[in-house]
């Protein structure tokens, strides 16, 4: 599998490696978390398809009502019932939050999530600054 390395102008380190394997499909969950890192105020899934040379993005509204799936309940050892999607990450806490949210997304969407990225406000500021900032 080949990798495309994306660098910002004049940057010493790569910003991103994009897999370029033939017929590769990859799903990545992205969670924008609040100040304490437990609630997902923003969640979306990025799908990369190398054969189509495309990226697709699906936003998951934070207030989406979900019936907490069996895999999350097994992970956390408790029955939860219905709650907002962003609460799934919160009930998992810092230790299991991302894993619980990924399991819930997989159940909701019927897909396998290959990786996840967690971004807090400070990381968002750094990302915006890295691509030239906002005027």
pLDDT, tens digit, 9 for 90 and up, residues 53-94: 888 999 999 899 999 999 999 999 999 999 999 999 999 998
Does residue 2 have a pLDDT over 60?
Answer: no
For the chain, the average pLDDT equals 82
Give me the residue label for tokens 């619980």: 100
Which residues lie below 8 Å from residue 111, measured CB to CB, with a gap of 6+?
27, 45, 105
- Nearest CA to 46 out of 15, 19, 84, 11 is that of 19
Strand, helix or coil at 16?
A: strand
Q: What is the mean pLDDT of residues 44-53?
A: 88
Structure tokens of 67? 């019936």
What are the φ and ψ backbone dihedral angles of 9, each rounded to 5 degrees?
A: -55, 130
Structure-token pair, residue 19: 């897999």
> What residues form DSSP beta bridges with 118?
31
């Amino acid at each position: 599998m080949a990798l495309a390395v994306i660098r910002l102008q004049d940057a010493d380190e790569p910003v991103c490696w994009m897999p370029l394997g033939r017929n590769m499909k990859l799903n990545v969950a992205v969670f924008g978390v609040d100040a304490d890192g437990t609630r997902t105020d923003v969640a979306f899934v990025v799908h990369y398809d190398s054969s189509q040379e495309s990226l697709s993005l699906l936003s998951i509204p934070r207030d989406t009502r979900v019936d907490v799936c069996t895999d999350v309940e097994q992970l956390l050892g408790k029955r939860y019932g219905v709650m907002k999607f962003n609460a799934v990450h919160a009930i998992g806490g810092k230790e299991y939050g991302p894993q619980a949210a990924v399991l819930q997304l997989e159940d909701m969407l019927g897909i396998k999530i290959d990786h996840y990225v967690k971004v807090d406000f400070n990381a968002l500021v750094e990302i915006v600054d890295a691509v030239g900032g906002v005027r």
